[in-house]
A and B are shown apart, each in its own frame.
Chain A
């Protein structure tokens, strides 16, 4: 187990790595920037390098950092509240809902309002799952997971329907592209709503952080300790989902990150829960920056970021698991 002091050192180290990755992310791309270019842009120099830096590289890197952190924290919250280490936004149908929302916008409105559709779709999926849980009097997390599976199935049917209706050239490709995630099209215009949604969601979680371990105890214990379980669980899941939806709206569905960042955090914390949320934020951001850098490094067409979050995440988690296993033995 880590002590609180060790936790702080761990957070500091992760933050330092994050800063370095952010720096690298600013340099890498189709138009590589050097350190002098960036310094020049920051001190008011003009020209191509400064344009690339201000218009493309900085918003993209910021968006990746914020998104990765948001997904990491959201994953940790889902896992705690649903009492399941495999829980992620897809479990309660949020990713599917966002995809459906995006697909509706792509097929019916030619792609305008895609972000709004994805955002609303994800939140509606959570709301539907919570309502079903409530309506059938199913208390506890098992009922919520079951409702989530039902919503996911329903949403999948909707997506299939829209895919058959979509035209093969443009719309179908756009839907597929959404499900693979990408930060290639991020500009400053996306940042206010992305950062706003994430900040709002994380603020809810930060305010209610003391309730998260209480909710993880399950209904009977939480209620016995004076927790109003239903509204608080909805608020905490809502906060996490708000952050996820804000990300999905602009970058599509990013696979695996909400699952893997909290696991990495847990392994680094040697099983301790305290400090999970900040470290999940740092590791999520770090991992997504790494994936996005790799996506741009590979020559030719840019790869979807989900391919890389998975390709980077799995070996990282395996190595942590192997090390953790040895430490325990």
Chain B
């Protein structure tokens, strides 16, 4: 459903992406991994037209994603930026309601049914208790759950998430991925920038590793063997590797040097 071919993007005088290609199929939860500064965030920003980009193909279900209007894009793709500064005086429910903005006429208010739906979205990420709380009183991790609920509220076909888990504790990370997976169903896709390779291997269907401005490896985790996974992990840093324990991948970092 998402098809990216030869994507080039960068900031003044510095090319960050030079010909990145990847694809996300319906129902697939894909992780985008890479070292700091490798261009993971830039890739998502380029898809959302937040940085200028050149590309051969950059389409979501056949439609040019960066070329859409902001409203059209919000109707089919939910993007969560890395840092979400939100006015601390809004309640979680009011923030989630903003997800309905693109399908609400410019000059009218939100409908009561949409408020109901917003509470439902909070419940789907396990944050129904936060509905009436002010954002300013929530922890960073709680705020990330609210922002994910807002993305669900957009009813998108594609989720583009930039480190949606960075402030969550271990069990919440897995719960978030489960909630995302449940929201996606069989016909939505997701591309998530993750820092935690373990989370990527445990929860995702496919892993892309970004290196030197290109996708150095795109791995289908359901079909990959240990050598292939280890080759992908090695791209993330010297000595990073994965072993299979009870049918699960376990990521090991560099060996401790005594």
Given A210-B109, A217-B87, are A224 and B74 also a contact pair (CB < 8 Å)?
Answer: yes
Chain A interface size band reads: 20 to 34
Alpha-carbon distance A80/B85, docked complex (angstroms) = 12
Chain B nearest CB: distance from A153 CB in Å? 26
Given A226-B71, A228-B70, are A214 and B98 also a contact pair (CB < 8 Å)?
Answer: yes
Which residues of B, 50-84, contact A by the 8 Å Cβ criterion?
A: 50, 69-75, 78-81, 84
Interface presence of A318 (CB below 8 A): no
**B85 and A224 form a contact (CB under 8 A):** no
Interface presence of B90 (CB below 8 A): yes
Alpha-carbon distance A140/B136, docked complex (angstroms) = 22
Chain B nearest CB: distance from A176 CB in Å? 38
**A225 and B94 form a contact (CB under 8 A):** no
Return the CB mask of A225-260 against B: 1 if under 8 Å, else 0.
111110000000000000000000000000000000
Question: Which of A59-67, A269-277, A286-294, A297-305 contacts the other chain?
Answer: A269-277
Residues of B near A39 (CB, < 8 A) are none
Interface presence of B104 (CB below 8 A): yes
Residues of A near B90 (CB, < 8 A) are 213, 273-274
Which residues of A, 54-85, contact B by the 8 Å Cβ criterion?
A: 80, 83
**B134 and A226 form a contact (CB under 8 A):** no
Alpha-carbon distance A227/B74, docked complex (angstroms) = 9
Report the count of interface residues on B (CB-CB < 8 A). 40
Which B residue sits closest to A79, measured CB to CB? B87
Alpha-carbon distance A230/B125, docked complex (angstroms) = 32
**B81 and A224 form a contact (CB under 8 A):** yes
Which A residue sits closest to B78, measured CB to CB? A224
Which residues of B, 94-110, contact A by the 8 Å Cβ criterion?
A: 94, 98-99, 101-102, 104, 106-110
**A217 and B86 form a contact (CB under 8 A):** yes
Which A residue sits closest to B107, measured CB to CB? A207
Residues of A near B237 (CB, < 8 A) are none
Chain B nearest CB: distance from A145 CB in Å? 15
Interface presence of B154 (CB below 8 A): yes
**B87 and A216 form a contact (CB under 8 A):** yes
**A271 and B81 form a contact (CB under 8 A):** no
Chain B nearest CB: distance from A1 CB in Å? 5
Interface presence of A266 (CB below 8 A): yes
Interface presence of A310 (CB below 8 A): no
Interface presence of A16 (CB below 8 A): no
Interface presence of A193 (CB below 8 A): no
**A274 and B94 form a contact (CB under 8 A):** yes
Interface presence of B88 (CB below 8 A): yes
Alpha-carbon distance A162/B240, docked complex (angstroms) = 69
Residues of A near B45 (CB, < 8 A) are 220
Residue from B50, B74, B78, B89 in contact with A276 in the complex, judged by beta carbons closer than 8 Å: B89
Please list the residues of chain A having a beta carbon within 8 angstroms of any beta carbon in chain B: 1, 80, 83, 207-208, 210-211, 213-214, 216-221, 223-229, 266, 269, 271-274, 276
A-B CB proximity, top 3 nearest: A226-B74, A226-B102, A273-B89
* 13 pairs, CB–CB < 8 Å, chain A vs chain B: A208-B107, A214-B98, A218-B85, A225-B74, A225-B154, A226-B72, A226-B75, A227-B70, A228-B70, A271-B88, A271-B89, A274-B90, A274-B91
Known: A224-B80, A226-B102. 16 other contacts (CB 8 A): A1-B91, A213-B98, A218-B85, A220-B48, A221-B85, A221-B86, A223-B70, A225-B74, A225-B99, A225-B102, A226-B72, A226-B75, A227-B70, A228-B71, A269-B89, A271-B88
